[in-house]
Structure 1
């Protein structure tokens, strides 16, 4: 077992001190060029692409969360047995 705590690993991984439980992982689209990114949606309304501190590749910094259908309206998965 490692002597490294979860807090230590988070700090080394670039955690800026924000609590990960405050955000939720989403898919988001750039409001300018419609590029799609994995992102974090924050309670204050900010949507930030993961791994792109400067925003979209086109230079835009405004993103919109892509809304998804409810899980119970999704078609069933095929049975691969």
Structure 2
């Protein structure tokens, strides 16, 4: 399987409210929430990546 053009998925947390969700990390470092347009209700949230997914070839 490919790496989906260098994009990764990761768990991320909003530094403002503590909401945790899944984001897509683009090759340029931009974070985009998966399945929703906004990560949380904070006006200017800063997202902190908690853990990225494994390469699909590494999953047993």
Instruction: Measure, in 1, the Cα distance between the counterparts of 2:45 and 2:28.
Output: 15
The structure with the largest alpha-carbon Rg is 1
| TM-score for the superposition, normalised by structure 2 | 0.59
The runs of 5 or more residues in structure 2 that have no matched partner are 53-60
CA deviation map 1:5-51 (0-9, x unaligned)? xxxxxxxxxxxxxxx43310111111211110011111211112112
The answer to which structure, 1 or 2, has the higher relative contact order (CA under 8 A, 6+ apart) is: 2
Residue number in structure 2 paired with 1:44: 28
Q: Which has the higher strand share?
A: 2
Confirm whether residue 34 of structure 1 aligns to residue 18 of structure 2. Answer: yes
How far off its partner does 1:63 sit?
1.2
Contiguous gaps of at least 5 residues in structure 1: 1-19, 69-81
Corresponding residue pairs, total = 49
**TM-score normalised to structure 1 length:** 0.47
Displaced runs of 4+ in structure 1, greater than 2 A? 57-62
